[in-house]
Amino acid sequence: MTRLVLAADFGGTHLRAAIVDERGEVLFREDHPTPPQASPGEAVQLVVDLLARTVEASGAAPAAACIATAGLINANEGKVIFAPNIAGFRNVVLTTPVAQRLGIPAYIENDASAAALGEYRFGAGRGTRHLLHATLGTGIGGGIVIDGRLYRGAQGLAGEIGHIIIDPAGPRCTCGSRGCLEALVSGVAFAARARKLLEQGKSAVLKELVGYAEPTAVHLFEAAKRGDRTCEAEIRNGGHILGLGLGSLVNVLNPDAVTLSGGLLAMGEMLLGPMREAMGSMAYGPASGALVRIGELGENTGLLGAAAVAFERLEGD
Positions in the binding site for Zn ion (CB under 5 A): 163, 173, 175, 177, 180
Number of Cβ atoms within 10 Å of the Cβ of 183: 25
Return all residues near 44 (Cβ < 8 A) that are at least 6 apart: 92, 94, 97
Q: How far is the CB of 277 from Zn ion (least distance, A)?
A: 25
Cβ neighbourhood burial of 312 (10 Å; 0-12, 13-18, 19+): buried
Nearest distance, CB of residue 182 and Zn ion, angstroms: 6
Angle at 16 between CA 101 and CA 14, to 5 degrees: 120
Q: Which is nearer to Zn ion, 16 or 163 (CB)?
A: 163
**Amino acid (one-letter) located at 258:** V
Q: How far is the CB of 249 from Zn ion (least distance, A)?
A: 15
Element (H, E) at 251: helix 229-253
Residues 314, 250, 220, 297, CA torsion sign: negative
95 contacts 88 by C-beta, under 8 angstroms: no
Q: Which is nearer to Zn ion, 168 or 316 (CB)?
A: 168
User: Please, how many CA atoms are within 13 Å of residue 8, restricted to the half-sphere of its CB?
Assistant: 28
Least separation in angstroms between residue 72's CB and Zn ion is: 12
CB nearer to Zn ion: pick between 165 and 198? 165
- Choice between 71 and 280, CB closer to Zn ion: 71
Nearer Cβ to Zn ion (51/183):
183
To Zn ion, the closest distance from the beta carbon of 161 in angstroms equals 10
Least distance from Zn ion to the Cβ atom of residue 178, Å: 8
Beta-bridge partners for 117: none
Closer residue to Zn ion, CB minimum distance, 121 or 193: 193
